[in-house]
Structure 1
Amino acid sequence: MIRPSAALLEAVQTNCHIADARHAQDLSLCTFLLQIREFHRWERGLPLNAPLQRAEVGAWIAQREALWAELEAREFLRLPFDDDADGGEPFETAPLNAQLQAQGLVYGAGWAGARRPGFFLAELIELRAIEAEGLRVQLCGREWARGLFAPPAVLAGDTIVLRREAMARWLWEKFEVFGLKRAEGPFKAVAQAYDLERDFLAGLPRMLDEQAETLILHEIGEHRAGRRLGPAWGEMLLALDDRRTELLLRAVRDHLADLGTTLPALLERDEAVSLHFWFAGYDGVRRQLFPGLADAYRAWCDGLGTAALARACVTGERHFAEVAEQLLALWREHGAAAARPIETLLRAAAC
């Protein structure tokens, strides 16, 4: 296994710490605690299911918060290049990756939210093309540097970045939450399909292989939604400085991606486990905006077939496409002054 240079590794991890220092406070307490536990396991090189000692984790968090306080005001570091003494800009990934890919490594940088940067450095497992969409998939393995927030899949330009190690940790978080009550519902169906309650680690590789395709379908849907909405959507998202509005805007786009691409593909392929997997993450503002989709899922679970789900996809996509057009019209006409009517429209956008 090729290890990145010490200078590059230190620079990327420092930038991860700076990003966390600036934005960890934006997380809800529940989300922060879940992410910090997994980050602790990753940094210590502990197995996913390693028991954590409260005192040890508490001391580590205190040290990390002290580091964040030291780094919060720092600028992001430029990244060392073999042939560039000045280094490269941290958000310009292409030049560095052109150098790293021959070494079996990949660097990622982007925005996890409208204003939240993220970075990682990982092993590159595979590059493959989705020619019909003009996209490629970048499959990443072991992560050498990462931040607190490590999304398992993102769309970066024309590249779907799938982080297999981050996905494994994300799935373990979901399993830990499920294990508190073992409630009936979609994740229990997933756990049974992969026999996770007997041995999570034994079932994990197959779950990663199969459900990575579900994440890729979502990112294909994001790509299609992005072409449909155009650059004005991103401009609107950045300009409207309100956390609740940002979440609702992202939920509208997610619905366009999943109702138009992900769910129809899973229904066509008759992939029952993947449908359960998708609905295991159907919560928060997305569910608030379209509660009828959960009703259609329950009808399917009750043995009434896929007709209700298929109808919900068609109805929901049409509805949220209309909502998106209304939002963009407000934005084009009024710009940032449209913040209040946009918020009003979003709060009334449920289907």
Structure 2
Amino acid sequence: MNIDNIISQIKKNCNISDAKFWGEYSICGLLLRLRELYRSEKGLKLCERIPYEEISEWMSERENIWKELQDKELEDIIIGESAYGPFEVSNINKKLEERNLIYGAGYGIRMKPSFFLADLISKRRIDNYEVYIAGKEYARDLADYSAMIQDNTIFARVDTTKLLLWGRFEELKARDPKSPLSYAFSRYGINHDDRISDDIERKISLIALSEIETYIYHELGEAIEGEKLGDEWKELLLDLSGRKAEFFTRGIKDLLADTTDKGMINYIIKNQKEGSLGFYIVFLDGYRKLLFSEIVTAFKKFIDSGDWQFIEDARIEGYKKAKRYAERLLSVRKDFHGKVEVSEYIEKEIIDKIKIVKS
């Protein structure tokens, strides 16, 4: 088995996906993802400085690659004498697990295909789901999901999580020592005035291993709530023509996943993972933050009291709210038949009115 050749094939599909979807990111978001991708491809340590001239040249080269590939279709992965479609994850992994490697593939926001190849750290079952923990990554695209699910398989990515956490550590000095970010890192022994060092990199690697256990339960929640919502929800997402409507709808599903009885927040509460709770608040953004202000209020009360019941009460209320909105969105799809009509209704009659109430 020629591993280098397999890596090259997966990287090509990553580049094809990025070539078609890079415009979906904001300029700031794209530059951040390119920095992460550069660090990953070059095998740089988290604490290593990225030379400006080198990354500028690399970005220019990547732009040229995207221009060449933007009209290409995803290619099969050839392993030995066999060819596999890029989403035949189970069949590909039957071959790769012999070499302690793991391959992941799925669809993200705006249905962007996402792929990675990494060392396999461990494998286990949780309920009816196979869970793979992925380590050092040899191929990846711009998407930076810490965990992803396909069918009954969950992939949790340590390398990607380390990069996300490192980005937050670099923000730490500029934040208030009493901020959720400072709180989250302090639970893992990293303080507001700590400097970049090999020791900090080691600590962040350990944090990543702990945090992916939490992210696994978001994916379990996704699976549980996905079964409840059924195919109608998937069809709703495909029907949406507006970005705001899609992001809002995905935010509802994420909130259901986080707040369901077997989801992420319940896992945090049961295991009293204070650091994970802090990072949940840190990474709460966009429509999830708009919809789930209860958890922010509960977090402040928790900081003062240490009482997990505040978090549990917010979880229950968040789930009820997300469920109401999910039911309303499915009802809207039945009432309106055009893609544009559905998106416009969600944006004007739901999102805009929530913003007015919150303002």
What is the TM-score of this pair, normalised by structure 1? 0.92
Paired AA for residue 40 in structure 1? Y
Residue in structure 2 matched with residue 93 of structure 1 by the alignment: 89
Residue in structure 2 matched with residue 172 of structure 1 by the alignment: 166
Residue in structure 2 matched with residue 150 of structure 1 by the alignment: 144
5+ residue gaps, structure 2, are: none
Paired with 1:206 and 1:108, the residues of 2 have a C-alpha distance of 22
Task: Kindly report the root-mean-square deviation, in angstroms, between the aligned alpha carbons of the 2 structures.
Answer: 2.0
Residue in structure 1 matched with residue 334 of structure 2 by the alignment: 332
- What secondary structure, in the 3-state scheme, does the structure 2 residue paired with 1:24 have? helix
Deviations 1:216-256 (A, max 9, x none): 12111111111121111111112202111111111111111
Residue in structure 2 matched with residue 218 of structure 1 by the alignment: 218
Report sequence identity in percent. 29
Whether 1:125 aligns to 2:134 is: no
Paired AA for residue 318 in structure 2? G
Residue in structure 2 matched with residue 345 of structure 1 by the alignment: 350
Paired AA for residue 104 in structure 1? N
Paired AA for residue 28 in structure 1? S
Residue in structure 1 matched with residue 277 of structure 2 by the alignment: 275
Which of 103, 106, 109 aligns to 1:110? It is 106
Paired AA for residue 106 in structure 2? G
- What secondary structure, in the 3-state scheme, does the structure 1 residue paired with 2:336 have? helix
- What secondary structure, in the 3-state scheme, does the structure 2 residue paired with 1:48 have? coil
Residue in structure 1 matched with residue 3 of structure 2 by the alignment: 5
Change (3 A) 1:150 1:246: same
Residue in structure 2 matched with residue 249 of structure 1 by the alignment: 249
Residue in structure 2 matched with residue 204 of structure 1 by the alignment: 204
Contact 2:175 2:181 in 1 (8 A): no
Whether 1:160 aligns to 2:154 is: yes
Paired with 1:208 and 1:293, the residues of 2 have a C-alpha distance of 23
Contact 1:248 1:285 in 2 (8 A): yes
Change (3 A) 1:66 1:156: same
What is the TM-score of this pair, normalised by structure 2? 0.90
Paired with 1:139 and 1:89, the residues of 2 have a C-alpha distance of 23
Residue in structure 1 matched with residue 27 of structure 2 by the alignment: 29
Q: Within 5 Å, which residues of 2 pair with 1:183-332?
A: 184-196=178-190, 197=194, 199-260=199-260, 261-303=263-305, 305-332=307-334
Contact 1:323 1:349 in 2 (8 A): no
Residue in structure 2 matched with residue 62 of structure 1 by the alignment: 60
Deviations 1:141-184 (A, max 9, x none): 12111112231111111111011111111211221233444553
Paired AA for residue 235 in structure 1? E
Paired AA for residue 175 in structure 1? F
Paired with 2:330 and 2:21, the residues of 1 have a C-alpha distance of 28
Change (3 A) 1:150 1:264: closer
Paired with 1:190 and 1:240, the residues of 2 have a C-alpha distance of 36
Instruction: Report the CA distance between 1:57 and its aligned residue.
Output: 1.7
Paired with 1:79 and 1:63, the residues of 2 have a C-alpha distance of 24
Whether 1:42 aligns to 2:40 is: yes
Contact 2:259 2:319 in 1 (8 A): yes
Contact 2:187 2:274 in 1 (8 A): no
Change (3 A) 1:37 1:182: farther
- What secondary structure, in the 3-state scheme, does the structure 1 residue paired with 2:41 have? helix
- What secondary structure, in the 3-state scheme, does the structure 1 residue paired with 2:215 have? helix
Contact 1:4 1:105 in 2 (8 A): no
Contact 1:125 1:141 in 2 (8 A): yes
244-253 vs 332-341, which deviates more? 332-341
196-205 vs 162-171, which deviates more? 196-205
- What secondary structure, in the 3-state scheme, does the structure 1 residue paired with 2:313 have? helix
